[in-house]
Structure 1
Amino acid sequence: MTTILTELATAPRWDEVQHALTGGGDGASCQCIWPMLRNKDWQASSTPERTQMFHDEIDAGPPPGLIAYVDGKAAGWIRIGPRTVQRRLEHTRAIAAATGEPFDDEAVWAVTCFVVRREYRGQGLNAALLRAAVDFARSSGARLVEGYPVDTGGTKQHANELFHGMLTTFLAEGFDQRGELKPGRPLVALDLAG
């Protein structure tokens, strides 16, 4: 039986974060910096610059996400944190139109990225990562967690299109649909208060 454990992404775990990001898909080139930059800044950045930004972010803390380990090996990644620091979100018109939450509320957190190494896909890592991310948000004082997943409608999709997570994963963890960014892209949220 596979054992999945999750740990916060801290400076001593930098190599494991990199291992999780570089197992297929866009994680190696994105370095999970996409949610942190406005589009013009993203377009102007290179992979080495993104890697340095991500390294600096993890070094400075607090942890911007969690790593999933399968039998002791880094296998997956999730980004979660306050929406206020994920600058792309408030500048994305579809999110601004779909959310009912003010963008200056530091107690509103967002899940913006999942990466699972190719050899570990289909083993429930996204669910384990999301569950741990929600626990981290709750323990850090978050009031609400938003996500912007893909509703696959049961069809097979390319892994690079699923980095936002799948709707079924969020619904299974208690999230509710609160709006729609565009067809097939709902906004989901989980209230942590109370």
Structure 2
Amino acid sequence: MVEVRAAGPDAWADVAAVMGERGDPARCFCQYFRLRGQQWDAATRDTNRRDLRNQVRKDDVPPGVLAYDGRTPVGWCAVGPRSSYPRVVASPNWRTDHKDAWVITCFVVPVGHRRQGLAGELALGAVEFARSQGAAVVEGCAVDISTASRTSSADLYRGPLSVFLTAGFAEISRTNDRWVLVRKHL
């Protein structure tokens, strides 16, 4: 049984363990949507790691949720108010009439824990966390994997469309075949 809970001040070691030492999560540390243009260009693995560590340890509202299998952290989902993600606010893929929506921006499930339904558990946990913080709407920019012959695991960081639909989200719009704005009213 997987438990999903907010990544609060004491959870940094678990967040770091999920992000790992290699690959996109270990470079980005879920800062891509928080930075734009030159800020992102100037960011390094170390500054991104430091920034997420500070967000986990110091922000009034944790920047995401963690999935645990017993005591072992096995997944991460970044979720927060739309206004905390400047790249989301500026992106045509995230055009919305719900400016106060919360957004799910990233999923990280380490190798060895994939294909076990963790992304779905994380999505549900992120929705419940957003609800507990007073959110009325949660959105995501899902990846429709049915439109490509093959999708790498690195391209799934936004979450597969099927995960969102199973979690009760509805398709709102598409800016192309792959990117699908989804929404769930709470």
**TM-score, with normalisation over the residues of structure 1?**
0.90
| SS, match of residue 174 in structure 1 | coil
Is 1:109 the equivalent of 2:107? Answer: no
Deviations 1:104-162 (A, max 9, x none): x2xx1000000001000001100000001101111111010000010000754211100
Q: 1:71 offset after TM fit, Å?
A: 3.2
CA RMSD of aligned residues (A): 1.5
Q: Deviations over 1:57-97 (max 9, x none)?
A: 1122211101111232111100001001111111113323x
Letter of the structure 2 residue corresponding to residue 56 of structure 1:
N
Matched with 1:53 is 51
Which residues in structure 2 correspond to 1:150-169 (within 5 Å)?
A: 150-153=143-146, 155-169=149-163
Aligned residue among 94, 98, 121 for 1:128: 121
CA contact (8 A) 1:147 1:187 kept: yes
Distance 1:25 1:5 in 2: 25
CA distance, structure 1, for counterparts of residue 137 and residue 15 of structure 2: 25
2:173 pairs with 1:176 = no
Q: Which residue of 1 aligns with 2:69?
A: 70
Q: State the Cα distance separating 1:168 from its structure 2 match.
A: 0.3
Unmatched tracts of structure 1, length 5 or more: none
C-alpha offsets along residues 14-50 of structure 1, whole Å, 9 cap, x if unaligned? 0100111117631111011111111321111111111
Task: State the TM-score, normalizing by the size of structure 2.
Answer: 0.94
**Counterpart for residue 186 of structure 1:** 180
Q: Give ranges in structure 2 of 5+ residues lacking alignment.
A: none
Instruction: State whether residues 23 and 118 of structure 1, in contact with CA within 8 Å, keep that contact through their aligned partners in structure 2.
Output: no
Which residue of 1 is the match for residue 23 of structure 2?
A: 25
Query: SS of the residue aligned with 1:118?
Result: coil
Q: Aligned residues, how many?
A: 184
Work out the CA distance in 2 between the residues paired with 1:190 and 1:8: 19
Bigger Cα displacement from structure 2, 21-30 vs 40-49: 21-30
1:30–1:50 contact (8 Å) kept in structure 2 = yes
Q: What residue identity is the alignment partner of 2:175? A: L
Residues 1:14 and 1:174: Cα distance change in structure 2 (over 3 Å): same
